[in-house]
Structure 1
Amino acid sequence: MKTRNLLTPLFASVLMTFGAAQAQADNVVTLRVHHFLPPSSNTQVKFLEPWCAKLSAESAGRLKCQIYPAMQMGGTPPQLFDQAKDGVADIVWTVPGYQAGRFLVSEVFELPFMGISGEKSSRALWTYATKNATDEYKGVRPLIFHVISGMALHTTKKQIKTMADLSGMKLRAPTRLATKMVAALGATPVPMPMPLVAESLAKGVIDGAMMPWEVVPTMKAQEIVKYHTETDPSLPLLSTTTFVLAMNPAKYDSLPPELKKVIDANSGADVSAWAGKVWDDATHTGRQSGVDHKNVFYTVPADELKGWQKASESVATEWVKEVSAKGYDGNKLLIEARALLAN
């Protein structure tokens, strides 16, 4: 009887501890985060994982992320946006421009020689997109807008030094406007998402690729290409790509107010600028992979690039016409975007 009496409070204590742990587990919200790059990518290691860690820390462990890299939840990169919209994933990181023509207003930042650094351009993009492109993002809740810190040209058999060198080359282009730019410069554009680039280079489907340094080591592209062509850093970026971290609205609405505040605190202009800086910082690491592999580098000087700028002016002119045909003031939007970048 004495033993039984001693065990009763101990048993009650165990039950209470178990109940408290179960209640805490029941209060944890797991967010399914889907993206198209490998788990070793800069995107996951330096951007998504730290961002998710902040959500967990600031929510006292009540917000957790389950990250699914490399399209592990199924589908293709162009389908990611609608996966967030339809609730297949809770949060996605994607390139809106993978769906050509759907995000006309926000793609202004992808015009040739438009951007500056990833950090500054990303802050400008948040301000611009949340004011002018809200219709394009109906059905999702944008958390972060950012751009990468520019593109370099990576080729397998031929070094690109002048615009004439581009003639006849099959060059990967990441977005609709990059495709137009590549064509304007005299090359044959081959649009394709990033996951297909390495194999296409290795098999000779393309002669080179327009892509950021950040993904070069992730795709092991430095082992496939031999030449890297960069542009004079005193001029705007050759090209860039717009990204969005977007959340399913129903998932956001299902959160209690205190957890919504955590999501809100990790969204917006400042966080977008941080995301852009992540890509600025990754440029140095990515570039080093080409150096270590003893590849050949060339920087196109400003005098030569003026011809590239002139040849690609038609891309901006066409964009203004296309956006204006949809009922927007394309010229006004272009001026606004450039002003935000200048500031």
Structure 2
Amino acid sequence: MPFTLRSLALAATLAVSAGTVSAQEVTLRFQHFVSPKSANPTHFMDPWAKAIEEQSGGRIKVEIYAGMALGGKATSQYDLIRDGVIDGGWVIPGYQPGRFPEAEALELPFITPKNTEAASIAAWNFTQKYLLDDFADVHVIMAHLHGEGIIHKKGPNPESLEDFAGLRLRGPSRPATMLLKELGATPVGMPVPAFPEALSKGVIDGGVVPWEIVPSLKLHELADSHTDVAGDYSLYNLYFIWAMNKAKYESLPDDLKKVIDDNSGLMAAAWAGRAHDTGDAEGKAVVAATVNPITEISPEETDRIKDVGEKVIAAWIEEANSKGLDGAALVEDARTMMAEGIAAQAASN
């Protein structure tokens, strides 16, 4: 066969191969560590997977596995995605203390509004500015926060700063445990799946989680009281990313990458935030149907707790500076972006 004909034949073969790749069916296995009935899986992950499947014309199938069903621990989720053990999933960077220090700025006391959609818009903007380099070995689809942090405990609700003294309370992240310690409690760091057993066995007196996770953890049965702080800002928060294995994402043809991209970024962050706002309302309603008291610490006592929170923030800034970061700028930007997130969310409604 003459060279030119051989070249044409090869080109035709490559064209057929490219057509086959672009028409391929892809299965993506995503994993998380909570009940499939909790807020994010119900109101974000499952609808997100459905949107991907529909917009790809069925060429992408997304399988969502709850409760770490594919293996590994919640604390290792980032590495499972990075290493390709799973194609994607839900990550709490704070479950690996010290590894992603800049992200902690979003988890400090009273930084985030109780409006989770607004807070998650801010979280995505903060991620874009500061954190993409930290997560460079995965493909970040979006970032978000959960809802307002509530104190759930056995026994009566705390009414004053002094009521925290000596309590053994579960905290999800380093900033949260820093705050609990400054409040006089004994903080116990643990991932959320371990919380119910620790509470039922009396290892801890209580802990902090948002309303939405209460029903799936059965905290309305295990705890006796549920307490929030006064005002529009949360006692603490927790930062999440929804991420995908980088090589898996890059292996997709451009049109399928676009399907992922069209369901990523700011819109997905706001979507996840709304999921948690919805879940918080549902979770709080479950508690309200029990005899457990739902209380709010008075504005005066909340101000005292805020003062303690400012000490935590100051200590965090000093520590961040010692690591070569600009701690004050990180905190200032987090606060500014939260205010901008509130404005952006209000403008969209």
Shorter-chain TM-score above 0.5: yes
**Distance in 2, Cα, partners of 1:197 & 1:244:** 21
| Residue 79 of structure 2 is aligned to residue 78 of structure 1 | no
**2:206 matched residue in structure 1:** 208
**1:3 matched residue in structure 2:** none
| Residue 327 of structure 2 is aligned to residue 330 of structure 1 | yes
1:304 to 301, 309, 326: 301
Contact 1:37 1:43 in 2 (8 A): no
2:60 to 56, 59, 63: 63
**2:217 matched residue in structure 1:** 219
Q: How does 1:216-295 map to 2 (within 5 A)?
A: 216-232=214-230, 234-295=231-292
**Distance in 1, Cα, partners of 2:42 & 2:328:** 39
**Distance in 2, Cα, partners of 1:110 & 1:333:** 12
Moved more, 41-50 or 275-284: 41-50
Shift of 1:317: 1.2
1:168-193: CA deviations, max 9, x gaps?
A: 11001011100000011111101110
Shift of 1:289: 1.3
Moved more, 168-177 or 289-298: 289-298
Shift of 1:276: 0.7
**TM-score (norm: length of structure 1):** 0.90
Shift of 1:103: 1.1
Given residue 199 of structure 2, which amino acid in structure 1 is its aligned partner? Answer: L
1:167-224: CA deviations, max 9, x gaps?
A: 1110010111000000111111011100011111111011011011010001111011
What secondary structure, in the 3-state scheme, does the structure 2 residue paired with 1:105 have?
helix
Largest Rg, 1 or 2: 1
**Distance in 2, Cα, partners of 1:321 & 1:208:** 30
| Residue 40 of structure 2 is aligned to residue 49 of structure 1 | no
**TM-score (norm: length of structure 2):** 0.89
Contact 1:141 1:249 in 2 (8 A): yes
**Distance in 1, Cα, partners of 2:37 & 2:275:** 15
1:96 to 90, 93, 97: 93
**Distance in 2, Cα, partners of 1:134 & 1:328:** 15
Given residue 196 of structure 2, which amino acid in structure 1 is its aligned partner? Answer: A
**Distance in 2, Cα, partners of 1:43 & 1:115:** 18
Contact 2:38 2:279 in 1 (8 A): no
**1:17 matched residue in structure 2:** none
Given residue 151 of structure 1, which amino acid in structure 2 is its aligned partner? Answer: G
Shift of 1:250: 0.2
**2:197 matched residue in structure 1:** 199
Shift of 1:41: 2.1
Q: How does 1:107-186 map to 2 (within 5 A)?
A: 107-116=104-113, 117-186=115-184
**Distance in 2, Cα, partners of 1:196 & 1:133:** 28
1:267-292: CA deviations, max 9, x gaps?
A: 00121011111101111110111111
**Distance in 1, Cα, partners of 2:307 & 2:65:** 42
What secondary structure, in the 3-state scheme, does the structure 2 residue paired with 1:27 have?
coil
